[in-house]
Structure 1
Amino acid sequence: MELARGASKGDGGAEALLGELEGLVQDVVRASSWWELHGVDCAILALSLLALPAGFLCLSSENVLVFAIGITILGVCHSTLTVKGSHLATHGALTKSKRWSKIWLLFFVEVCTAFTSEFGKFSHVNMHHGYTNVVGLGDSSTWKLPCLNGYVYMFLAPFLIPIITPLVALERLWKVELRIALRTLGLISLGLYSQYWLLLNVSGFRSPGSALACMLLIRALLAHPFLHVNIFQHIGLPMFSRDKKPQRIHMMTLGVLNLPRLPVLDWAFGHSLISCHVEHHLFPKLSDNMCLKVKPVVSRFLQEKQLPYQEDSYLARFRLFLNRYEDFMVQAPLITEVVGLQ
C-alpha cells in the first residue's frame, strides 16, 4: 500500500519536510497580531460566559419557545467552555503566561468540565498527541465501548457523557497526591453545584430532580457530535505499532482527518477539532483561529509534497462508522505497513 507517494525517504528527509513546514507556519505566526493569536478565541469564550445569565433567565419562562432558547444558549455555551475552552487551555494556547495558562486549565477543565486537569492534560497532550494512532497509547481507544452495538453507541451512549465524566474524574483522584485530589474535588463540586444553584434560584426550578434533569439536558445537548468527532478523525485511519511508527509528519498526515467547516461546531468545539484537525496535530500550540489561518499554507505544502491531506464530510464518516462499526470499534485494529516512510 503506497501511503505517501513522493514523500522523502529516511528520517532526515521527514525531519527536513517538517522543518520546512514549520518555517512557513512560523512566518504566518510572526506576522499575526495578538488578536489573531489569542484574542478571537478569548472573545468567543468571554461571550459564552456573558451569555449564561440570559440562558438561565430564559429557563424561568413558561413559554416553551423561550425555554427552548434557554436550553440552546446554555447547551452551546457549556460545550464552548468545556470543549473549546478545555482543549485550548490543555495546550496552553490561550495565553503565553504560564501562570494564567494554569489558571485557565483549572477553570475550564475542572470547574466547567468536571474532570481532572492533570489526567486530562496527560492523556490528551502526552499520549494522544505524542503517539497519535499508535495502538495502545494514542489511538483514541478510550472512546471505544465494544460491549455496545453501533446504533446504541452512536445514538444513545452520548447521553451518558455528562454522567461518566465526573465519575471517571473521581476514579482518577485515587492516583494523585492528596492536595491535588482535594483541590480537584473542590473545583469540580464548585462547578456542578453552581449550575444546580442557578437553576433553582435564577431559573426557578421547584424541585432538585427537575434541576438535575435540566443540567443533564444542557450538558448533553452537543454530546453526540462531541463523541462522533472524537472517533471520526482518527479511528478507521492507519494505525501504527510503538516500535514501527513513522516519523512525526507522516504520523500526523496519515492518522488525522479534517471535517468540513460546521458553524455551530466551529463555535462550540473550535476549528482545531473540526476543519483544522490536521493543522492542530502538526502545530498543537496554535489557537483555533491560528489553525484556521495557517490551514491554506499547510494544505498547499502537503499537497505539493504529495503527502496525505485527509478530509471527509461528517455525514460520510457517520455512515461509514454505522456500516463498519464492528471493524472500527470492536475488533482489534490492523497495524498499517509503513515501510518506505522511515
Structure 2
Amino acid sequence: AELLRRGGHEGHEGPAGPAGPAGPGGPGGPEALMLQLRRAVQEVVKQSSWWERRGEDCCILGAAFLLLPPAFLLLGSAHLPGLCAGVLLMGVAHAVITIKGAHLASHGGLSQSRAWARVWAVFFIEVCGCFPAQAAVQAHVQMHHAHTNVLGLGDSSLWKLPFLPRAVYLFVAPLALPVITPLVALAHLRGRGAAAGSRTVAMMALGLLSQYWLLVRVSGFRAPGALLCMLLCRALFSIPYIHVNVFQHVGLPVFSPSRRPRRILQMSHGVLNLHRIPLLDWTFGHSLISCHVEHHLFPFLSDHMCLKVKPVVSRFLMEKQLPYQEDGYLSRLRLFYRRYQELMVLAPPITELVGVQ
C-alpha cells in the first residue's frame, strides 16, 4: 500500500506534451486518472491476504526448486524418454527460477524487507540467472519501467539484431542466449569496484559450476555432455522469452524524451498484454504475459496480484476511453514475421538492454 501511495514506481513521470497521447490537465487530467486508478488498486491490495500478495508466487518458485532433484535423476537415465523428461523438467525449473524469480526479485517483490530483497536479487539474478543484479535492476526498473518506449532511454527490446534474416532472428538466434548472457554480464562489470565485481563473478560461477557438478556427479555426464545439457536446458524457453520481450512493446507508440505523456497515458499506449497462455503465464509469470499493462502501471505488485487487479485496471482504462491493448501470441508472431523489416530493421535505435525484462 505504501508503494502504491508513492506511485507504485520510482521512475520519472515526465511532462505531457503534444508528441505523445496526452490528455488535458486539471481535475480530469492524466494525474487525476492515475490517482483514481491507484486508489482502486490499493483497495484491492488492502483486502488481499498474504497468500494472494506473495504466497502463491513463492510456492510456484518453491515447486520449481522441487523439480530439480527428479530432473537430475532423469537426466542420468539410459533411455531416451527419461532423458527427454529430465531436460523438460530442468528447462521448466530453470525458466521459472531465472525469469519469474529474477523478475520478481528485481522489483523487490519477494519480500517486504529491503535486506532480504537484496539477498533474493543476488540469488535469483546472479547465482541462477548469471547476470549482475545491479545492472539488471538498473536496466529493467530504472530504465525500462521509468522510460517505457521513450526514444533513447527505455525501449523494451534487449534483442535487436537487424542484420539477421527474420527466421533466424525469431527462431534460431535466441538459442544462443545462454552463451551471450554471461558474456554481456562480464562486459557490465567493467568500471565497477573490484569487490563488487569479484562478488558478482563468484555468484555467477557458483550457479554455473554447481549445475555442472550435479550433472557430472548425479546424472553421470562427462564434461562435454554436461555442458551440452546445460546449454539445452537453459535455452529451452529462450525463443518464447525473446518473442515476449519484443511483442509487448515494439511496434507500439514511441515517445520523445522532452515531450512524453504522463504515466497512465504512456503505459496504456506503449504496453500490450498477450492473451493467457497457461504454460508461459505460470513459467514466466502473469506480469510478463497476460498482465503486462498492470505490471507497468504497478510494477511492485506480484504476479498473482497483477492478475487479481487486472479486471479493475482494464475496466477503468476502457471507461476512461484509454487504450487497453491485448493480442494473441500467434497474432503478434505473424505480425512481426510479416513486418519484420519495418519493425525491427528500419526502426530507430533506442537502447541496448540485456538482462531481466
The two structures have a TM-score, normalised by structure 1, of 0.94
Deviation at 1:333, TM superposition (A): 4.0
- In 2, the alpha carbon distance for the partners of 1:259 and 1:312 equals 5
Deviations 1:290-333 (A, max 9, x none): 00000000000000000000000000100110111111111134
1:170 to 177, 182, 186: 186
Contact 1:52 1:73 in 2 (8 A): yes
Distance 1:11 1:168, change over 3 A: farther
1:76 aligns with 2:96: no
> Where in structure 1 are there 5+ consecutive unaligned residues?
336-342
Structure 2 Cα separation of the partners of residues 153 and 227 of structure 1: 10
Partner residue, 1:339 = none
Partner of 1:153: 169
Question: Which residue of 333, 343, 346 corresponds with 1:331?
Answer: 346
CA distance in 1, matches of 2:323, 2:159: 25
Matched residue count: 332
Give the direction of change, closer, same or farther, for the CA distance of 1:228–1:100 in structure 2 (3 Å limit): same
1:59-78 deviation digits (Å, cap 9, x = unpaired) = 11112111111101000000
Q: Is the 8 A contact 2:20 2:261 kept in 1?
A: no
CA contact (8 A) 1:58 1:203 kept: yes
1:278 deviation in Å?
A: 0.1
Contact 1:51/1:73 (<8 A) preserved: yes
The corresponding residue for 2:154 is 138
Give the structure 2 partner of residue 124 of structure 1. Answer: 140
Does 1:240 find its partner at 2:261?
A: no
Query: Residues 327 and 93 (structure 1 numbering): CA distance in 2 closer, same or farther, change over 3 Å?
Result: same
> How far off is 1:139 after superposition?
1.0
Q: Which residue of 1 aligns with 2:116?
A: 100
Tell me the distance in 1 between the aligned counterparts of 2:92 and 2:98.
10
For 2:158, what is the secondary structure of its paired residue? helix
Q: In structure 1, the residue corresponding to 2:258 is in which secondary structure?
A: helix
SS of 1:244 mapped into structure 2: coil
Q: Give 1:47's match in structure 2, choosing from 59, 63, 66.
A: 63
Q: Which amino acid in the other structure matches residue 294 of structure 2?
A: E
Q: How does 1:218-237 map to 2 (within 5 A)?
A: 218-237=233-252
SS in 2 for 1:146: coil
1:210-221 equivalences in 2 (<5 Å): 210-221=225-236
Q: Distance in 2 between matches of 1:176 and 1:102?
A: 18
What is the alpha-carbon distance in structure 2 between the residues aligned to residue 279 and residue 177 of structure 1? 36
Deviations 1:82-135 (A, max 9, x none): 000000000011110111100100000000000000100000000000000001
Which runs of structure 2 are paired with 1:189-204 in the superposition (5 Å)?
189-204=205-220
Change in CA separation of 1:2 and 1:179 when aligned onto 2, cut-off 3 Å:
closer
Of the three residues 298, 303, 313, the one matched with 1:298 is 313
Greater shift in the superposed pair: 289-298 or 59-68 = 59-68
Give 2:353's aligned residue: none
What is the rounded CA distance, in whole Å, between the counterparts of 1:56 and 1:265 in structure 2? 23
Check conservation: 1:154, 1:228, Cα contact below 8 A.
yes
More displaced, 168-177 or 230-239?
168-177
Contact 1:60 1:203 in 2 (8 A): yes
Counterpart-to-counterpart distance in 1, 2:90 and 2:167: 27
Are 2:295 and 1:286 aligned?
A: no
Kept after mapping to 2: 8 A contact 1:11/1:247 = no
Cα distance in 1 for residues equivalent to 2:313 and 2:280: 22
In the alignment, which residue of structure 1 is the partner of 2:7? none
* CA 294–130 in structure 1, closer or farther in 2 if over 3 Å, else same: same
User: Secondary structure of 1:284's match?
Assistant: coil
Q: Distance in 1 between matches of 2:323 and 2:343?
A: 21
Structure 2 segments unaligned to the other structure (5+ residues): 1-17, 351-357
Q: Does structure 1 retain, via aligned residues, the 8 Å contact 2:130–2:185?
A: yes
What one-letter code is carried by the residue in structure 2 that aligns with 1:320?
Answer: L
Q: CA offset at residue 266 of structure 1? A: 1.1
SS in 2 for 1:243: coil
Does 2:102 align with 1:86? yes
Letter of the 1:174 partner, please give it. R
2:40 to 24, 28, 31: 24
Residues 271 and 325, structure 2, Cα contact 8 Å, conserved in 1: yes
Structure 1 position 185, deviation (Å): 0.1
Q: Secondary structure at the match of 1:44?
A: helix
